[in-house]
Amino acid sequence: MSTIENTKRKLKRKIKKLKLKSVMKNRFVLEGFYKYGDTDKSRFRRMLYLTSLHFSSKLGSVSGTKPKVYERKKYTIKPCVTAPESSFAKRPSPTLMAKKFLVNDIISFDVFDTLILRPFDNPKSLFFLLGEKNKCPGFKRYRELAEKLARQDAFEKSGTYEVTLRDIYEKLSRFVLLDIDKAMQYEIETELDLCFANPYMKEIFLQAKNLGKTIIAVSDMYLSKDVIKKMLDKCGYEGFDDIIVSNEYNASKRSLLLYEYIKERYGVTKKYIHIGDNIVSDNRSARKCDIEPIWYKGVNPRGNAHRAFDMTSLIGSAYRGIVNAKLQNGDKQYSQYYEFGYTYAGFLVLGYCKFINDYCKNHGIEKILFLSRDGYILKSVYDELYPNDDTEYVYWSRSAATKLTVNRFKNELLLRYIKYKIPRNMTIEKILKAMDLQEMQPFLDEAELTKDTLLTKENYEDIVKVFTAHWNIITEHYRRNNDAAKAYYKSVIGSSKSAVIVDIGWAASGFSALRYLIEDEWKLNCKVRGLVAGSTYLHDMDIIEPQMTNDIITSYMFSQRINREIRRDHDVKRMYGAFTEIMLSAPAPSFIGFDFDNDGRVKYEFDYPEVEGYEMIKEIQNGIHDFVDDYTTHFAKYPCMMNICGSDAYAVCRQVISCPEYFSNLFYDYPVNRAVGSASFETGSLGKLIENEFVK
């Protein structure tokens, strides 16, 4: 690269650093710049805006404290927009590595974060679990301090920082008095429980083995050789000539001494390759010792550039660790839809399913009804996690609910089928067709509202008057549908005395309608409760306030009762709701209503299928299932790790739903049928919707 290009690059980097430093100066400036700074403005205007923020911050004495790391990351860390994250994790192919191995004699592997991964983005997160096993609050901090002390002590005594696990636990007695052997055993046991093989490295390792090369494992670590061997065995790595651990030789890779020892032992004329994740000890130090290094940049430093941080320490670390291990290891490339499911939707689904399960246990619920279509993936995952629970995926939609509850929620029909259609330039004929109420036409004709009349703001009230005057006809018209729905739900609920209805959100209108029908109109002798992932409603924030107070409806992530700051953050005008719904979409058409077929059996009616999106949705769902499988497998022995709180689930969602360019890029053609129930062949696309309705 030419010197000019290099200088340009350096200059750009410096300007970026300067800008970041200036933006991150205090919370006021940070929030102001990222939350309200319009990215469409020119650079000059943004700079002016930034200067004015600093100025007003000084004037108003709101300089505040420097924002915390997670606060900064909330704005600066973004998902991979243009291409799958896994496509950036390019690693040398196994065939290429095999060729490299062929011309070398000794193949050396680093162990931790190379051959072996742990389901955390920071290995120290494991100490949280030890804290619980040792029943010791603050254990993580004590354990870190003890290691530091032990290393300092070792340096003073022997000039190296190499320590054993026992050295560390002996120092731990400075902070907490534990049975050292037992506590050490906990740590070893936990390490063994949680470690897993890096799938990419496994193939590379097998390549070396296949070629009959001498393979060694080299680690700068406080754990003993035996423990590391057990971990490697558990991960399926067998066939090492030796496992060389720094604490047994009082020499580390970083200090070059361990490499020198290896070369002395195996022969200086031999050709060596060393593969490891640490830029200093595995790369530079190896090169200095004339060992060809292959730097495998760790999955976590690579992946964390795209992960959410505003989360609880333990669950957040687990989430990031698992996603990083999957997408950054270099074994496979996934589609962006799969990654969307794996990285974002999977965590929400897992957390929500556990929440549903806990809720059912606590409330003695006999049956769980997952409402179509958002409940499709929830039920599928829930059944995998809790196969003994009684669950049903039930057909329901706002459109169906509106028709079935005309004798109670009158205004719903008028709003959803008439008022909300005003901007769509629909004729009276089309509206009546969508409502399947063509028999109203003669009455509308009398009021001079003919078939071809366009629905407008001005004639809306006239139409309402005609409808109100003949409401009994409407009620009668939908009676047959109501009977079909009753027959369907009667068979679904069976003899259950209590059921919970699960939906994604936001005003719980589906639940409210169904509750009225099941409990009051159909009298199915079953008490129903409702669960939503989040609760917010643009037109009436308090729409389900009494039901929530009465513990009839509960929200997982946020509502007026919990995580109110999240609720405020959940910006409906910025389409946060729509984006969240995409996570749980189903590859099936929208449900319209119930009827009877010619044989008197209940028949389901669907809208036109939005098939353009089905392949995307199937990929998303594959990602969701795989995330749930991976997470539950890694933490099979630690059920507490399933307790994902709503704010953690939302932090992950927020990271992606607050990034409209992600959806514009990935889901531009994703079909959005804004006229469900209007029997329209035309569907819009999410891209167009973002262009038209996203409020900056």
Partner 1 sequence: MILYYALTTYHIQCCVLHRLTRKKNETAVLLLSDIHKNSVAFLERYKNSGIFDDVLLLEESEVNANIKQREQKHRSKQSILKSACSEIKKVLPINLNSADELYLCPDHFPFGWYVIKNKIKYHCFEEGCGVLSDNKFLMSNMSRNKTQTALMNTLGYFGENDSCVEILADTQAQVEGFEHPKMVDFSVKRILEELDVKTLERVLSFFGVTEIVKAEKNTSLILTQHMANLGIMPLCDQHRLYKLFADYFLENTHIAVKPHPDDIAGRYKDIFGDDCTVLPFAMPSELLPYVFDGRVKTAIAAYSTAVKNLGNFCDRMICFDNRIMEDFRHIHRYFAAVQLVEYLKQSDDDIVTNGNELLIAELAKNDNFNAAFKFSDEMSDFNGCAVISDKLIEDNTIEDITAFISSGQNKGFIVFLNEKQMHIYFNGKNKEVFSKIRPIFIEIAGKEKKVQEVIYLYSEDKKTLEKAENFSLTKELKYTGVTIDLHSISKSEGEKIKMLEGVLEATEKRLNGYIANKKAVDAELESRGIKL
By CB under 8 A, name the binding residues for partner 1: 93-95, 97-99, 102-103, 203, 206-207, 210-211, 609, 611-612, 614
CB contact burial 33-63 (16+ within 10 A = b; e otherwise): beeebeeeeeeeebeebbeebbeebeeeeee
DSSP H stretches of helix in 500-575 = 509-515, 545-549, 564-569
447: part of which helix (H) or strand (E)? Answer: none
Residue whose CB is less far from partner 1, 301 or 609: 609
Closest CA to 404 of 416, 422, 420, 393: 416
> With contact defined as beta carbons under 8 Å apart, do 559 and 535 qualify?
yes
> With contact defined as beta carbons under 8 Å apart, do 684 and 601 qualify?
no
We find the least distance from the C-beta atom of residue 662 to partner 1, in angstroms, to be 24
Count of CB atoms situated within 10 Å of the CB of 454? 12
We find the least distance from the C-beta atom of residue 693 to partner 1, in angstroms, to be 22
Closest CA to 220 of 105, 108, 144: 108
Residue whose CB is less far from partner 1, 101 or 478: 101
Residue whose CB is less far from partner 1, 207 or 563: 207
Residue whose CB is less far from partner 1, 211 or 487: 211
Q: Please give the order of strands across the beta sheet that includes 214-219.
A: 242-245, 214-219, 106-110, 272-276, 292-295
Residue whose CB is less far from partner 1, 95 or 598: 95
Closest CA to 247 of 228, 260, 263: 228
Cα distances from 61 to residues 21, 26, 634, in angstroms, run 19, 11, 49
We find the least distance from the C-beta atom of residue 606 to partner 1, in angstroms, to be 11
Partners of residue 107 on adjacent β-strands: 215, 273
> With contact defined as beta carbons under 8 Å apart, do 431 and 418 qualify?
yes
Residue whose CB is less far from partner 1, 99 or 174: 99
**Rounded Cα gap, residues 75 and 24, in angstroms:** 10
We find the least distance from the C-beta atom of residue 207 to partner 1, in angstroms, to be 6
We find the least distance from the C-beta atom of residue 96 to partner 1, in angstroms, to be 9
We find the least distance from the C-beta atom of residue 609 to partner 1, in angstroms, to be 6
Residue whose CB is less far from partner 1, 4 or 103: 103
**Rounded Cα gap, residues 86 and 627, in angstroms:** 15
The DSSP call for residue 422 is G
**Rounded Cα gap, residues 175 and 365, in angstroms:** 46
We find the least distance from the C-beta atom of residue 274 to partner 1, in angstroms, to be 19
Residue whose CB is less far from partner 1, 537 or 606: 606
We find the least distance from the C-beta atom of residue 640 to partner 1, in angstroms, to be 28
Residue whose CB is less far from partner 1, 204 or 431: 204
We find the least distance from the C-beta atom of residue 484 to partner 1, in angstroms, to be 20
Residue whose CB is less far from partner 1, 206 or 659: 206
Q: Which residues are CB-contacts of 678 (< 8 A; sequence separation ≥ 6)?
A: 421, 424, 426, 430, 431, 434
Residue whose CB is less far from partner 1, 11 or 96: 96
> With contact defined as beta carbons under 8 Å apart, do 658 and 398 qualify?
no
We find the least distance from the C-beta atom of residue 325 to partner 1, in angstroms, to be 18
Task: Show contacts of 122-126: CB within 8 Å, 24+ apart.
Answer: 122/300, 122/317, 122/321, 125/313, 125/314, 125/317, 125/318, 125/321, 126/187, 126/190, 126/191, 126/194
Helical pair 139-158 and 126-133, crossing angle rounded to 10 deg: 110
We find the least distance from the C-beta atom of residue 268 to partner 1, in angstroms, to be 18
